[in-house]
Amino acid sequence: MQRPEFALAIHGGAGTLTRSTMTPEQETEYRTTLHLAMVAGQACLASGQHALDAVCAAVAVMEDSPLFNAGRGAVFTHEGHNEMDAAVMVGQGRDAGAVCQITGIKNPVLAARAVMEKSNHVMLAGAGARAFAEDAGLETAPAEYFHTEARYQQLLAVRDSNAAVLDHDGAHKLAFADKKFGTVGAVALDRFGQLAAATSTGGLTNKRWGRIGDSPVIGAGTWADDKVAISGTGTGEVFLRACAAHEISARMRYLNEDAATAAAAVMAELGTMGGQGGLIVIDAQGHITLPFNTEGMYRGQLVAGGEIEVAIYRDSES
């Protein structure tokens, strides 16, 4: 099959996403925002911009929405703060940048990009990451911007427990089956044949002690090389232990598996390790695969010449 001019895929988290847990109005909100994120990425790719531009544009739309656990919708730490993580990576040269425990920056994905493009480092954390982002001219926002009432009520529901909840929109439901993983991400192939990935998250509701998950860790929740780009969402500690994103690339390189086969194998391995969540994967030929082992995953995909597709549920009427 001839390589398409460009291709794009996004995710907005995975988990117990069923029609019975969502009102029609909520579903419309999510689908609309997913579509807007896809349109933003598509516009970059169609105008000849690079894959990195597209993934950052798509992720920024989701960061600006209170619906997703990233940017404005980031969950609260035990202390009542919003600490955010993000990473970007481009396949050509494997350049990468990441921030973790960053506060007050409107779009953490752009801070991660600035680390990659304007520093000699790959990952910056905490106050240093914020200072760097401010020096780079990125837009800041007051604490009130990140204070969404639904997220704050999630914190209050679990604050007195020892639970750190991986929940997209209902942390008051503590049963594992009710957890939702709200990380957002995007992967893209541009007309120049370059691949890129971006991931952004607010982490866990009620997280403590400076906990950091897989999203900003290159090779765990985010990866891109000359063969494949990956962004993940799910049980961060398991994705970290499995080096999940890089493992897909390794299987493609050393076992000569295609992206879909490699991603399915890694998703299965994550499951055996107790991990739940999903992956978005795009290869150098523009093939997209979106495996997940939960009941649903907020997702979208597009290949040049086709229509934008967005989906939430696992079934055929997604």
Domains of the chain: 7-313 (3.60.20.30)
Query: Quick one: which of 96, 72, 106, 48 has its CA closest to 246?
Result: 96
- How many C-alpha atoms does 284 have within 13 Å on its Cβ side? 14
pLDDT digits (tens, 9 = 90+) for 260-308: 999 999 999 999 999 999 999 999 999 999 999 998 999 999 999 999 9
Q: What's the pLDDT at 152?
A: 82
- Per-residue pLDDT band for 169 (boundaries 50, 70, 90) equals very low
pLDDT of 168 strictly over 50: no
274 carries a ligand binding annotation: no
Question: Residue 89: which residues within 8 A CB-CB, separation 6 or more?
Answer: 95, 96, 97, 116, 196, 197, 198, 218, 222, 223, 224, 229
pLDDT of 181 strictly over 80: no
- The contacts found for 123-126 with CB under 8 angstroms, 24 or more apart, are 123/87, 123/97, 123/98, 123/99, 123/216, 123/218, 124/98, 124/99, 124/100, 125/99, 125/100, 125/101, 125/212, 126/100, 126/101, 126/102, 126/210
pLDDT digits (tens, 9 = 90+) for 7-46: 999 999 998 677 877 889 999 999 999 999 999 999 999 9
212 carries a ligand binding annotation: yes
Q: What's the pLDDT at 1?
A: 66
Highest mean pLDDT among 136-140, 155-159, 178-182: 136-140
160 carries a ligand binding annotation: no
Q: State the pTM of this model.
A: 0.93
Q: What's the pLDDT at 49?
A: 98
211 carries a ligand binding annotation: yes
Average pLDDT, the chain: 91
Q: What's the pLDDT at 103?
A: 97
pLDDT digits (tens, 9 = 90+) for 200-221: 999 988 898 999 999 999 999 9
- Per-residue pLDDT band for 177 (boundaries 50, 70, 90) equals very low
pLDDT digits (tens, 9 = 90+) for 73-119: 999 999 989 999 999 999 999 999 999 999 999 999 999 999 999 99
Mean pLDDT value across residues 180-189: 88
Q: What's the pLDDT at 178?
A: 38
Kindly report the backbone phi and psi dihedral angles of residue 213, in degrees, each rounded to the nearest multiple of 5, phi listed first: -95, -155
Q: What amino acid positions are annotated as catalytic residues?
A: 183
235 carries a ligand binding annotation: yes
Look at 181 and 36; give whichever has higher pLDDT.
Answer: 36
288 carries a ligand binding annotation: no
